[in-house]
Amino acid sequence: MGIAKKRPHRGKGGGWAVSLLVFLIPVIATLAPAGSAAQAVPSNPAASALDRVQAGIAALQGWYNPATGLYRTSGWWNGANSLTVLVNGARLTQTHAYDKVIAGTFVAAQKKSPGFINNFYDDEGWWGLAWVDAWDLTHRRAYRKMARSIFENMAGGWDETCGGGIWWSKKRHYKNAIANELFLSLAAHLASRDPRHRAEYLRWAHREWQWFAASGMINSQNLINDGLTIDASGQGAAACKNNGRTTWTYNQGVVLGGLADLSKADSDPALLESAQKIATAAITHLVDGNGVLHDACEPDCGGDGSQFKGVLLRNLMDLEAMAPQPMYSRFIETNADAIWRFDRGPGNQFGVVWSGPFHRANATTQTSALDALIAAAAIQTNGD
């Protein structure tokens, strides 16, 4: 789920000036009263897209705990998303300054879950994609090997209940969208990065997408609901149907990156067409009157929901790189600007309601907002 570059980035504005700005923004911002709205923070409202990313990452790293390899104020699977943001930001700004942090997480986080394996297949998928992304940046073989190992564990969650798909957890009581989207995306990403096993990963990716597309989880609006109505037996008239639960933004997102990468791997335009239908539905139905994205849980989304919106922006960035549409770039830039103008607090921290006002932040809300800022900066960089 990395940043697709159309040509190398050469930066903007001069090295010392950018470095000074990035240093001063969080320092000056801390002078604002706690809890003040983003508009009142006396830092540069016209900062470039790259400056915004760098300032946001600097704030994110304030929550990083080297001893655990994770981020204070956020959970296990959120840590994988924070790592992905760190890698994407490093690739965008062409720096290897965070390589030691990535390597530290690789070692330290395994103290909690060796091999990044636990009881939830979706958790594993987030970490698998994070290590693919880290391999893209560093080409350290251990990262790609880890992603392959995680995928093998996830594949063990597949069975023929409801005709296929992997389970959400190893208790095998629920088949849902996010676990299967992550499985699709990880298979597609590995197919284009592991030539020796390309055919195997492609088979899995196509098998997953064929099942997912026919599962009923994509509703009549082309939005994806949370999962299927199912008990352990998978039997009965009510089993294996769309459960009508919330169309969370991240469920509209992960599938976009998976289909974009699968299309790149096998040059199938139908995959992009499917992705574009879902993307258009999300941009149309999950926004306010100003085009700013929202989840139904706002403003109290807990430790999980506050991660969701950024995942959509991150994956839409990948789709936009494969199949550019003015609608996508406008949507990404609209949300990035809203975050910077209305949902930015002291120290360039970002909250959960992107339309504002800023209330409070943690590593999860920061990571989610950074996904949008990185996507906007990637669009500007690739369009130069």
The domain segmentation of the chain, as residue ranges, is: 15-382
Tokens found for residue 168: 């959400």
- Measured CA to CA in angstroms, residue 201 lies from 173, 183, 191, 195, 205 at distances of 26, 10, 5, 10, 6
Question: What per-residue confidence (pLDDT) applies to 239?
Answer: 87
Mean pLDDT rounded to a whole number for the chain: 89
Which pTM was predicted?
0.88
The pLDDT of residue 15 is: 37
Is CATH 1.50.10.20 correct for 15-382? Answer: yes
| Contact assessment for residue 286 and residue 249, using Cβ atoms and an 8 Å cutoff | yes
What pLDDT, on the 0 to 100 scale, is given for residue 7? 29
Instruction: Round to whole Å and give the CA distance between 46 and 347.
Output: 16
The span from the CA of 294 to the CA of 290, in Å, is: 11
187 token code pair: 């298979």
Please report which confidence band the pLDDT of residue 24 belongs to, taking 50, 70 and 90 as the band edges: very low
Q: Read off the tokens for 380.
A: 């500007």
Query: Above pLDDT 70, what percent of the chain?
Result: 85
Cβ atoms within 10 Å, residue 12: 14
- pLDDT at position 1 is 52
